[in-house]
A = this chain, B = another copy of it.
Amino acid sequence: MAGIPSKIETWQMVEAGKEGHGGKLERTTIPVPELGPEDALVEVAGCGVCHTDLSYFYDGVPTVNKPPLTLGHEIAGTVVAGPSKLVGKNVIVPAVMPCHKCDICARGRGNRCLAQKMPGNSLGIYGGFSSHIPVPAGDLCVIDELKLPLSHYAVVADATTTPYQAAMRAGITKGDLVIVTGAAGGVGVYMTQVVKALGAGVVVGIDINQPKLERALNYGADYVINSKGKEFKALRAEFNEICKKAGVPGNVGWKIFECTGVTPGQEIALGLLSFIGKLIVVGFTMKPVSYAISRLMAFDAEMIGTWGCLPEHYPKVLALVQEGKVQIEPFLETKPMSQIQQVFEQQHSGLFDRRQVLEPDF
């Protein structure tokens, strides 16, 4: 562990992009701010590149704090300054940290706190694509024993915890029937594992990539459906066959996690929603979809949006990773942070099958 640095090395987004054209990244240094009594300075070991970062950098989705600021909110690292009980500890920085003071926080809904801080968005100019980052100390999730390289735990900060919060919102219990649309995607690969770890009975993964679907069978999915080029009717028939094989009803009690964030995925999820079912909206798109919401009434069903993850859940997700119940290694790869521009571009072009975790090499 290094000590407190004299300055922070960082890759700032000095200009945001729009309409698919990338913004501008610049390597620079910024001062180490004076830490408040409730702050900590974390030396970054790794920071994951999330779809959200790309939407800021390419699509004109606005960050709360305007550029120049550093992106990156999937961070694992080591505390080098702050409360003494934390100094020297390896930690995961939650992607969103509630204010813990407002009415929303008081209701236990701090993941949607309107005053929440998110590195690389609303935490001043600070983000994870840096050598160090100052963060609120209270919500840090301590990793007592490293079972994987520290940088790898970065994906727990968002890609793995978001599915956990989604599962909590769905009230996943033992024996539950689960469908994951986008089961082969960046969040879906954890969604299937998380629900299985929480005791789901039957997990059906749906996606359009056959090899990745087959891989999903090793990571939480009991059955998979390749929806590529299929009419809904054919997909429904395939689903009904699976239900028959599994000895479960096809139209009662399914909890559907929509992780694609694209219209075809949403349409499949909505089409499969049935009696006393739940559709949990995990993937994001601005595009509207057409649906007779009174079907929710006829089904006594629910549609539930889920945002981020409460910091209090992080230790539970970390435990699932440590126990091997949720595997992260097969779904990530590390790169030196100096390749950030290239990694952004390649990921934006859809080149990667795995989460990219950038390791500082300033």
Contact = CB atoms under 8 A, between A and B. Distances in A.
Interface stretch (A194-202, A211-219, A294-302, A344-352): A294-302
Interface string A287-314: 1111111111111111111110000000
Contact of A281 (B109, B112, B285, B297): B297
A233 interface: no
Contact of A304 (B111, B295, B296): B296
Contact of A302 (B103, B300, B302): B302
A252 interface: yes
Given A291-B291, A292-B289, A306 B297 contact: yes
Interface string A82-114: 000000000000000000000110010101101
A261 interface: yes
Given A252-B104, A252-B114, A288-B292, A282 B297 contact: yes
A109 to B, nearest CB: 5
A292 B281 CA distance: 11
Given A301-B305, A304-B302, A285 B275 contact: no
A307 B299 CA distance: 7
A283 interface: yes
Count of this chain's copies in the oligomeric assembly? 2
Contact of A300 (B111, B290, B296): B111
A286 B299 CA distance: 13
A275 B114 contact: yes
A288 B306 CA distance: 23
A8 to B, nearest CB: 30
Indicate the member of A114, A284, A303 with the most B CB atoms within 10 Å. Answer: A303
Interface in A239-290: 252-253, 258, 261, 266, 275-276, 281-290
A328 to B, nearest CB: 23
Contacts of A287: 292
Interface residues of A, number: 41
A258 B294 CA distance: 10
A276 B110 CA distance: 10
A303 B303 contact: yes
A234 B252 CA distance: 41
Most chain B C-beta atoms within 10 Å of own C-beta, residue among A252, A285, A305: A305
A104 B276 CA distance: 8
Contacts of A276: 104, 107, 109, 112
Interface in A106-126: 107, 109, 111-112, 114
A192 to B, nearest CB: 19
Contacts of A284: 294, 297-298
Contact of A292 (B252, B285, B292, B293): B285
A298 B305 CA distance: 7
A247 to B, nearest CB: 13
Contacts of A252: 103-104, 114
Contacts of A292: 285-289
A305 B305 contact: no
Given A112-B299, A291-B291, 7 more contacts: A103-B252, A258-B293, A261-B294, A281-B297, A286-B292, A288-B290, A300-B307
